[in-house]
Amino acid sequence: MSFVSSWILSIVGVVIVGVIIDLIMPDGQMSKYIKGIVAIVTVLVIVLPLPKLANKEINFDFNSSIVLDSELIYSINENKIEQLNILVEKRLEENGYKNVDVFINADLYSYELKIEGVFVDLSQAVINEEMANIDKYTTDIKGIVREVLEVEEEDILIDGR
């Protein structure tokens, strides 16, 4: 017999015993004390098993698996990539590299976003006379991109056409 059915059976048993005692007892001073004791016992029989019932794990396994919504994952990852692009471009601008376009390549349908590559376009970059030779600054740009995106240096491609 399960826990719940034995609990209900004990409640019914206590109520029946209480009714029988009430029928047998004559009216008087002692009757109201006995009724009070039976009421307390009934409440205890109802309340005491509740913590045990609350701790019991209820399993609702219907042999179904959770299917991830690929469009939701795509949308979330697309927003992450967009924010990362803005962050890298802002950091490059703070370091003196203006109008630099950054493109992040990643699998947007994967559950955990992993950056596969980064393309840095310097074709629209504003280069002042102090930075006439942009080649010596590509290592600095790669360092900034690596720091922000936490990618390997070989995953960063810089093009300055």
Residues 136-147: tens digit of each pLDDT? 667 777 888 888
Comparison of pLDDT for 160 and 106, the residue scoring more: 106
Sheet with 115-121, strands from edge to edge, namely: 101-106, 115-121, 156-159
Least confident of 63-67, 76-80, 113-117, 154-158: 63-67
pTM: 0.52
pLDDT digits (tens, 9 = 90+) for 13-53: 988 988 888 888 887 888 888 888 888 988 988 888 877 76
Q: What is the pLDDT at residue 57? A: 58
Measure the CA–CA gap between 115 and 134, rounded to whole angstroms. 26
Q: What string of DSSP letters covers 96-107?
A: T-BS-EEEEEE-
Average per-residue pLDDT for the chain: 79
Percent of the chain with pLDDT over 90: 2
Contact 157, 122 (CB under 8 A): no
Comparison of pLDDT for 84 and 96, the residue scoring more: 84
